[in-house]
A and B are shown apart, each in its own frame.
Chain A
Amino acid sequence: MIKVSNLNKSFDKLHVLKGIDEEITQGEVVVVIGPSGSGKSTFLRCLNLLEHPTGGEIVFEGIPITDEKNDINKQRAKMGMVFQQFNLFPHMTVLENITISPIKVKGLPKIEAENIAFKLLKRVGLYDKADSYPSQLSGGQKQRIAIARALAMEPDVMLFDEPTSSLDPEMVGEVLDVMKELASEGMTMVVVTHEMGFAKEVGDRVLFMDDGIIVEQGTPKELFENPQHPRTKDFLSKIL
């Protein structure tokens, strides 16, 4: 579904991604772990071109999205993204947050967009918050709304950029639960996270990144119980 070849990204002189090859297949939950500064968020943000790669190619559903002539907006509409800082639109109600893109980008009639929104709100357990503003929600609620907003576009893949890192500990669970449910329904997901429990439980594959490359990858069992590379061992020993 997403094929990445020799992906490189530099910020001025800082070489962040140093040649990444990776393929994500339909229905797979790929968890990306690694120390901060390892390039895992940059990798994720390259997948929908929020960061423009300085080298290499990304093919999404058969379309080379890194091609200059490609209109990325079409693919972005099929790739949901959830951010660490939620990034809900503060001047819109929850319902408007969720419906704005289906209406404006996909051209759905308002009623239809709202029907989808209410279904999603029910799913993330926030049906009664439709008319609230983001400032009236807790962190966990905000992130669940952000997930609903991304899902409203009916994406083929969901990208999660440290979705629980800015949450109070007691709210992490409610967000992870929504993500787990999503995974169990077969959604293709790429998740950058520090939640090793989630990686173990939900991940089909875990990538360990360090210093701009994928050092090691495998099933959660392989990677967590029997890491091969010394850098992986070192990282896991620090956090587990």
Chain B
Amino acid sequence: MDILFTNISNSIALFVKYHRYYLRGTGITLLVSFFGVFLGVFLGLILALMNLSKNKILKGISRSYINFVRGTPLLVQVFIVYYGLPLVGFDFMPDLWLVVIAVSFNSAAYVAEIVRGGIQSVEKGQTEAARSLGMTQRMAMRYVIIPQALKNILPALGNEFVILIKESAIISVVGIHDLMYQTDTIRGISYRPFSPLVFAAIIYFIITFSLSRLLNVFERRLRAGDQSI
């Protein structure tokens, strides 16, 4: 019992001592995830529209991209972007940008599938009504279909954010000082291989759990005020 107690109190002391590392790491993790999703939604929307377009070439590009990204590990993608982009002229980019791009390229493929599902879930009659009023396909998308689709997919997008927060731990392998990287640093300098990881896990859990709770509340609000159908 005494050993357990000592261990716990030592660990807490360790956390207090190194809490700045955790704090900084958490900041970077949130930053990368947030911008990853943000850019991912933007790219994903474009990919989804390409995927749904009648143009076979656009559709082909989008489908291949989505399939490639979904069929390869994020770790590989991060390496490819991190080492590849500087080789093709993006060597001016700070490391942080590179990983944000890598993460958002990855996220875009998943978001594209979410958006496609959202757009396809809007009834066909909506497009027909819009077109029958003289709207072009583009107008119908913009004013009628996408607003309804976005509302349908907001929960899924929030979920994607939560997933990215966890998955982004991978960027520590290229030396980005995110939560995982900082945890490793603490393990090194404190000669304690185990307890820093527990705190990292706790922090990841607190963020993702409270975020999904928040999203639940948000989703319920959305439903309560839902004027549609």
Contact = CB atoms under 8 A, between A and B. Distances in A.
Contacts of B144: 89
A218 B136 CA distance: 37
Contact of B227 (A48, A79, A90, A100): A90
A40 interface: no
A181 B111 CA distance: 49
A73 interface: yes
Contacts of A83: 125, 128-129
B227 A133 contact: yes
B228 interface: yes
A90 B229 contact: yes
A78 B200 CA distance: 64
A63 interface: no
A3 interface: no
Contact of A149 (B133, B143, B147, B226): B133
Contact of A101 (B135, B147, B227): B135
A150 interface: yes
A228 to B, nearest CB: 35
Interface string A168-210: 0000000000000000000000000000000000000000000
B132 interface: yes
A76 B227 contact: no
Contacts of B229: 90, 135
Interface string A135-158: 110000000001001100100000
A91 interface: yes
Contacts of B123: 85, 87
Interface in B1-58: none
B149 to A, nearest CB: 10
A81 interface: yes
B128 A73 contact: no
A4 interface: no
Nearest 7 A-B pairs (CB), nearest first? A77-B134, A90-B228, A133-B227, A87-B129, A81-B132, A101-B133, A87-B125
Interface of B: 123, 125-126, 128-136, 139, 143-144, 147-148, 151, 226-229
Given A78-B134, A105-B133, 19 more contacts: A50-B131, A76-B131, A80-B133, A83-B128, A87-B125, A87-B126, A87-B128, A87-B129, A89-B148, A90-B228, A100-B133, A101-B134, A104-B135, A105-B134, A106-B134, A133-B227, A134-B228, A146-B129, A150-B133
